């Protein structure tokens, strides 16, 4: 009897793992497409339609997104704290960073020699002299532009990043972000 219960518990665990894996890898839209279409041709058409909807929202494929590095001294620099609270928390910036850029924040201490090695390497690669500094880079790694300092309106930062990176589509920001 104990072997049977162990076997049933094992099957239950395996089924639970299967359900977790299949529910996280497949979006709800893909399941709907598979149920609605019956043929591969219809499924292909529906998938391409959903890709068109994504580009209509301004979603740029991850590999083609420009990289935006923010070199900041969040713990000790007042300008960096201002940039964090006013610009990075704005709905415009959130929409930009969700759909159109790859955003990375690089925190630097007052003494750069005490920073982690990869942060020091990035700071020296881009020649960072002061914090906060925004650096826009192509996916291949060449610099497009930089903007040191803080204090501008959030929409000005977002528009500057889009202009430097050549992003033409500007999605309308919703309050739900």
On the question of pLDDT at 33 being above 90, the answer is: no
Q: What is the pLDDT of residues 109-164, one digit of tens each?
A: 999 899 999 999 999 999 999 999 999 999 999 999 999 987 778 888 889 999 99
Q: Report the C-alpha gap between 76 and 119 in whole angstroms.
A: 16
Instruction: Give the confidence band of 42 by pLDDT, cuts at 50, 70, 90.
Output: very low
Query: In a 3-state reduction of DSSP, which class is residue 107?
Result: strand
Instruction: Give the confidence band of 48 by pLDDT, cuts at 50, 70, 90.
Output: very low
pLDDT of 65 reads: 92
Q: Report the C-alpha gap between 131 and 133 in whole angstroms.
A: 5
Helix (H) or strand (E) run with residue 83 in it? none
In the chain, pLDDT over 70 holds for what percent of residues? 75
Instruction: Give the confidence band of 173 by pLDDT, cuts at 50, 70, 90.
Output: low
Integer CA distances (angstroms), 112 to 14, 131, 172, in order: 50, 11, 39
Q: Domains of the chain (ranges plus CATH)?
A: 2-56 (no CATH), 62-165 (3.40.30.10)
Q: Give the angle 127-129-133 at the CA atoms, nearest 5°.
A: 90
pLDDT-wise least confident of 67-71, 74-78, 131-135, 151-155: 151-155
Instruction: Give the pLDDT mean for 166-172.
Output: 75
Instruction: Give the confidence band of 1 by pLDDT, cuts at 50, 70, 90.
Output: confident
């Amino acid at each position: 009897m104990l072997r049977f219960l162990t076997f049933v518990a094992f099957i239950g665990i395996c089924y639970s793992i299967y359900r977790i894996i299949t529910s996280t890898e497949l979006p709800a839209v893909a399941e709907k497409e598979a149920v609605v279409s019956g043929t591969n041709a219809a499924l292909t058409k529906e998938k391409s339609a959903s890709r068109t909807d994504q580009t209509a929202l301004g979603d740029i494929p991850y590999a083609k997104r420009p990289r935006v590095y923010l070199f900041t001294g969040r713990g000790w620099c007042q300008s960096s704290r201002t940039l964090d609270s006013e610009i990075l928390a704005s709905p415009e910036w959130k929409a930009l960073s969700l759909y159109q850029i790859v955003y990375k924040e690089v925190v630097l201490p007052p003494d750069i020699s005490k920073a982690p090695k990869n942060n020091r390497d990035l700071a020296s690669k881009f020649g960072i002299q002061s914090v906060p500094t925004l650096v826009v880079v192509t996916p291949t790694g060449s610099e497009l532009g930089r903007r040191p300092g803080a204090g501008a309106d959030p929409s000005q930062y977002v528009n500057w990043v889009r202009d430097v990176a050549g992003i033409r589509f500007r999605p309308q920001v919703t309050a739900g972000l």
